[in-house]
Amino acid sequence: MKTKNLVFALFIMGTFVFLNSCGSGSSISPSGTIKEFATKVEKGDIDGAIGCIATEGKTVDKETKGKLTLILGMGKGQMEKKQGIKNMEVLNEQVDADGKTATVKMKFTYGDGSTDEEDYTLLKEDGKWKISMTKK
């Protein structure tokens, strides 16, 4: 469990990624982006998962994408060890008054019965909610 938390912490605090569309669900709600991201990681759609991450106007090099691909692959492995995601529950979702930032608290329940709670900060980029790599 600690390894998965470390992987997600590295992911959130780590590197910046390609500008890539996460899909239409991400523009509807911040929690929709988190669910889409988790589903893509679980399925091994690393490029799709990367598309759910905010670039915050930064250029991303090949090395950075490689590091993020490795981290997300480790996250997929942790999900597999826990027998996949059984349920994703939104504990709290709050969009800031500016309409450009949001926070989401999620609870993930896995096939092996274990649970994790994670906090996310999201930004609106190009009309879509994306996961921020920086702390709010």
3-state class of 108 per DSSP? strand
Segment 42-98, tens digit of pLDDT:
999 999 999 999 988 887 678 878 988 999 999 999 999 999 999 999 999 999 999
CA 88 → CA 3, 106, 132, distances in Å? 20, 7, 19
CATH assignment of the domain containing 87: 3.10.450.50
Q: Note the pLDDT of residue 133.
A: 82
Residue 95 lies in a domain: yes
**Is residue 64 included in any domain, yes or no?**
yes
- Number of domains the chain is built from: 1
119: domain range?
2-131
For the entire predicted model, the pTM comes to: 0.79
pLDDT at 30 over 60: yes
pLDDT at 101 over 90: yes
136 in any annotated domain: no
76 within some domain: yes
Please indicate, yes or no, if residue 91 is contained in any of the structural domains. Answer: yes
Exposed/middle/buried for residue 73 (C-beta within 10 Å: 0-12, 13-18, 19+)? middle
**Per-residue pLDDT averaged across 12-26, rounded?**
42
**pLDDT at 18 > cutoff 70:** no
Average pLDDT, the chain: 84
pLDDT of residue 112: 98
